[in-house]
Amino acid sequence: MYDAYQQQVHECDVEIEGVLRRLSINKKKPDAPIPKPKHRTKQPNQLNFNVRESLYHLVGTDLTQIHGLGPYLSLRLISECGINMSKWPTAKHFTSWLTLCPGSKISGGKILSAHSRKSNNRVVAHLRLAATTVGRSNTDNTALGAFYRRLSARIGKAKAVTATARKIAIFFIMP
């Protein structure tokens, strides 16, 4: 059964690669070569083709240069949000759609609540996971990791995850 499942996974990888190739046919190829990868770790269930290169030709920038976003997570974010970011006029609109911005329950001039809304959006779950990963990685001193650790010490880990996920989302929409 293992071999049968591996064959089905390989067929899915070929299909994903074909879709990415068809989507990038009419796109202009980027002038600059793809940057060096930040990490060379191999994921156990990674796709059987070069996802970074396919996404680089599709989007025009290397999304894996954003700390916390690997090739697989970048592919998932592109599949959920698309490549046309003109749906959101600004990054603030995008983070509001993701429910990563503070809420604004105000009555009579008094702020009742500023908690961010709950969401079942898969993109939010992926960004929160990336934020947690960035915050826990002590091996590479990144600005996002320092931001997470500074906020978690001051306001708590849950709010720090939301703030860091919002910052990663802003980097994603405005590369």
Tell me the two tokens of residue 73.
Answer: 């997570």
Four-CA torsion 121, 113, 95, 148, nearest 10 degrees: -90
Tell me the two tokens of residue 13.
Answer: 């990888």
Q: What is the mean pLDDT of residues 34-53?
A: 74
Q: Which pLDDT score, from 0 to 100, does residue 58 have?
A: 85
Q: Which pLDDT score, from 0 to 100, does residue 154 have?
A: 93
Tell me the two tokens of residue 26.
Answer: 């009419």
| DSSP-assigned letters across all residues of 63-89 | GGGSTT--HHHHHHHHHHH-S-GGGSS
Q: Please state, in angstroms and as integers, the Cα–Cα distance from residue 14 to each residue in 25, 44, 69, 98, 119, following that order.
A: 17, 18, 22, 31, 32
Domain boundaries, the chain: 1-29+48-83, 86-175
pLDDT, tens digit (0-9, with 9 covering 90-100), for 102-151: 777 778 888 777 777 777 888 899 999 999 988 887 766 788 888 998 99
Q: ∠ CA(140), CA(69), CA(137), 5° rounding?
A: 30
pLDDT, tens digit (0-9, with 9 covering 90-100), for 66-83: 888 888 888 888 888 888
Q: How confident is the model at residue 40 (pLDDT cuts 50, 70, 90)?
A: low
Q: Which pLDDT score, from 0 to 100, does residue 175 have?
A: 64
pTM above 0.85, yes or no: no
Average pLDDT, the chain: 84
Q: Which helix (H) or strand (E) segment is 156 a member of?
A: none
Q: Which pLDDT score, from 0 to 100, does residue 164 have?
A: 93
